[in-house]
Amino acid sequence: MPYKIDETHDPKLQSWVESANDPATDFPIQNLPIAQYESIGDDDEMVGGYCTVIGDQIVDLTELEGAGLLRVDPDAEPGDGMYLWTSDAFSRDDLLPWSEIRKQLSRLFRKDTPDLRDNDEVRKAAMRPMSEVRFELPMDLIGDYTDFYASLFHATNVGSMFRPDNPLLPNYKHIPIAYHGRASTIVPSGTPVRRPRGQLLPGATIADGPPTFGPCKLLDYELEVGFVVGRGNAMGESIDIHDAEEHILGMCLVNDWSARDIQKWEYVPLGPFLAKNFATTVSPYIVTMEALAPFRCPAMERPIDDPKPLGYLTCEDNLTSGGVDITLEVFLCSSEMRSKGMDPVRLSKGSFRDMYWTIGQMLTHHSANGCQMNPGDLLASGTVSGPTRDARGCMLELTWDGDPFATPPKVVPGTQRTPITLPTGEERKFLADGDEIIIKGYCEREGFRRIGFGECRGVIQPAAD
């Protein structure tokens, strides 16, 4: 069940952190995401850990707890509950739930609250400008990673390229499709991504010649939204659709890089392998489900002749408020553009509300067979695409000239593509070395403060020798 709107969402709330009152900030007092940082302390030693972000500042949660300004363990004396910040802390029954911690943080940063504002010693120890820290992965341990295929528009576009008469396989509208990814190559935003190598076919099929081994030629990004498990389940038990969102800590941005030519050769019969597991970039901020409460929306309305989800994937809350209205944008900046001081160019703009399956349905189905979900597990939505060409979430779709959602449908099988022209005159059907992909996300609704997800970015490096 989605969280209720409360005093922490009040658009009139102002903070004594002045940068948090800027209407353009991603991190007003109404957001307060979770992140992990690393920085050089006053004694030239590395410091870091879990923090929240407000305006242009990070705030160390352990420092607040140690100073008695944040209570995490209700049974501990103020200042005694130190070093509780680990992935499993977000699901421990002996600690306060994050919703209660969020309320404490909201009160602490309000303009009229002096406790931290007027405490120079603690403020100096706990707060740093974002520009002076390096953000790590948002959880200290991402033990497992699962990538879904939850956009009907993406699945139909890609299916139409190869099966124009039957783009969706029979199971798609009955079951949330997913595969298990590789957690070891999940990297935080800003980490360079090396072009992968793998087996490639020289022609369209094996009949055109045997495979060779070399660098990927058709490298792509995938615009995705991730969500992080905060509370797990025991092996053999499942998560009920009515309770699914109580197990979700929050959401982040994901770029699940994809080697299209490697994938084309290897994915039959078991699905993606080397084409996907070389790198997955995530934004460093977990925007909590509580912060997202004002931006919930109904699940995507299915055509009347679509099959209804089975009972274990159905509940009234999921239908009326299972969606999340997140605006998503993708930008590209080539090496030449950076050398000339040019701004990144926007490739697409879409919305997460266009997903066929909700995050609650994805998590419920993942655990339906008794699969154990653990705190810190990352689940991603799959490529987020919309019904129009400018809302497609990857180069594979953006440069494809077909449109199965037009009236009448325009489906172009094969490789007919129109490249994207950059401000420098460069053309792209897929990504070149030196290209930087920047994903941004934010939520807006009249009567509430805009909140954002920060950025998820990565620059393509040449393949290894």
453: part of which helix (H) or strand (E)? Answer: strand 451-461
Residue numbers annotated as active site = 154
Q: Which CATH number fits domain 7-135: 2.30.30.230, 1.10.3720.10, 1.10.10.10, 3.40.50.720?
A: 2.30.30.230
The CATH architecture assigned to 145-461 reads Alpha-Beta Complex (3.90)
**C-alpha torsion sign, points 393, 394, 399, 400:** negative
Angle at alpha carbon of residue 254, lines to 179 and 199, rounded to 5°? 55
Cα–Cα distance list, 387 to 58, 292, 345, 443 (Å) = 38, 24, 21, 20
57 strand-pairing partners? 54, 129
- What one-character DSSP code corresponds to residue 99? H
Reading across the β-sheet that carries 327-333, which strands appear in turn? 193-194, 451-461, 436-443, 327-333, 345-351
Q: In 3D, which of 199, 181, 174 has the Cα closest to residue 356?
A: 174
Burial class, 360, CB count within 10 angstroms (exposed 0-12 / middle 13-18 / buried 19+): buried
Q: In 3D, which of 146, 458, 125, 173 has the Cα closest to residue 306?
A: 173
Per-residue pLDDT 10s for the chain (465 aa) are 678 999 999 999 999 999 999 999 999 999 999 999 998 766 667 778 899 999 999 999 999 999 999 988 888 776 665 556 777 777 778 778 889 999 999 999 999 999 999 999 999 999 999 999 999 999 988 999 999 999 999 999 999 998 888 899 999 999 999 999 999 999 999 999 999 999 999 888 888 899 999 999 999 999 999 999 999 999 999 999 999 999 999 999 999 999 999 999 999 888 889 999 999 999 999 999 999 999 999 999 999 999 999 999 999 999 999 999 999 999 999 999 999 999 999 999 999 999 999 999 999 999 999 999 999 999 999 999 999 999 999 999 999 999 999 888 888 766 689 999 999 999 999 999 999 999 999 999 999 999 999 999 999 999 998
Q: In 3D, which of 173, 218, 445 has the Cα closest to residue 309?
A: 173
Domain ranges of the chain: 7-135, 145-461
Q: Is 424 left (phi over 0), alpha (psi -120 to 50) or beta?
A: alpha
Cα–Cα distance list, 427 to 331, 340, 419, 432, 447 (Å) = 15, 17, 6, 10, 42
Angle at alpha carbon of residue 456, lines to 244 and 89, rounded to 5°? 40
3-state secondary structure of 225: strand
Burial class, 162, CB count within 10 angstroms (exposed 0-12 / middle 13-18 / buried 19+): exposed
The per-residue pLDDT for 329 is: 98
